[in-house]
Amino acid sequence: MDQLAAMRAFTRIVETGSFTRAAASLNMPKPTVTKLIQLLEAHLRTSLLSRTTRRLVVTADGAAYYERAVRLLAELEELDGSVALSQLRPKGVLRIDVLAVLARRVIIPALPGFLAKYPDIQIEIGASDRPADLVAENVDCVIRAGAIADPNLIARRVASMDLITCAAPGYLARAGEPLSPRDLEGGHLLVSYFNAGSGRRYAFSFVRGEERIEITGAYRVAVNEVGSYLSAAVAGHGIAQLPVFLVRPLLADGTLQQVLTDWHAAPIPLFVVYPPNRHLSNKLRVFVDWVAGLLASTHLNE
């Protein structure tokens, strides 16, 4: 029996809650994972998992074994990473999940430089605005905007994005230009953005000196992805708050028009987030440092 492979299979089963999902995340056939668990239980002379037709339950022995196995595997990964670091050759597959607009507009265009510097790293990119389950989906890190709700995750702030309040000229011709954020609460429509996981709509935030106002006005269109949000604004569905770097050329050519110029939206922080039981491996460390520098130099702020 390959005990390390069996331990990895067992920890993935506990973390994903499924033999099928564990097998997929490990790129193993499900029968191989099942056999590894059977051999591990025989070796330990105890049952680690209680399996029924409806659910999978970790036994008391399994829970204790999981805690020790996770620490051991993390230490082994850190050891491997430290050796790789000493050789300056980080390698392996790095799975990341990124806001779709950042993936398309910033990260993917800049990747040739990173891959040229680290030729032994392969990057698998999930590009979406939905919250990713780092453990269940076996993701090394995510890059997300806004506050990180899960206190169990490790988050490193790497940049921030300034927002501009704007609308299509056609919309402003129909509805008029707002003179105050409070005007958005009556007679105007917002393009609304909602969280893909919770469904919660985000409020518009306005700051001027010591004043701070949050607005959740009426809307006809709501989306959960930044690219679609931009399209809705350009199509004239209402007033939107969009990242500066995304709308700068559209403001310049008149496709969108800035409004409420005396007010500013609070910048949105950007974080690289990874699970606490996944030590910052060498491949992840060099990527985090690279992406932090990239986002800091991309003029995400005015």
Asked if residue 131 has pLDDT above 80, the reply is no
The more confident residue out of 79 and 111 is 111
What integer pLDDT is reported at residue 134 of this predicted model?
64
CB 229 within 8 A of CB 201: no
Q: Which residues pair with 192 in a beta bridge?
A: 222
CA distances from 23 to 6, 41, 112 (A): 12, 18, 31
Q: Name the helix (H) or strand (E) containing 71.
A: helix 60-87
Query: What's the CA gap between 77 and 237, in Å, rounded?
Result: 50
Q: What is the pLDDT of residue 155?
A: 80
Per residue in 207-258, pLDDT (tens digit) is 988 889 888 888 899 998 888 999 999 999 999 999 988 899 999 999 999 9
29 burial level (CB within 10 Å; 0-12, 13-18, 19+): exposed
Cβ atoms of residues 159 and 292 within 8 Å: yes
**Burial, 12: exposed, middle or buried (Cβ in 10 Å; 0-12, 13-18, 19+)?**
buried
Two structure tokens written together for 177 = 């230009």
- Residue of 256, 222, 252 whose CA lies nearest to 242: 256
86: pLDDT confidence band, cut at 50, 70 and 90?
very low
Total-model pTM: 0.64
The pLDDT of 141-160, averaged and rounded, is: 78
Do residues 194 and 202 touch, judged by C-beta distance below 8 A? Answer: yes
- Domains belonging to the chain, first-starting first, are 3-85 (1.10.10.10), 90-156+270-296 (3.40.190.10), 163-266 (3.40.190.10)
Question: For 256-300, what is each residue's pLDDT tens digit?
Answer: 999 999 998 878 888 888 877 655 678 888 898 898 888 877 666
Instruction: Dump pLDDT digits (tens) for 154-182.
Output: 788 888 888 999 999 999 999 999 999 99
- Dihedral of CA atoms 195, 196, 200, 206 in degrees, nearest 10, equals 20
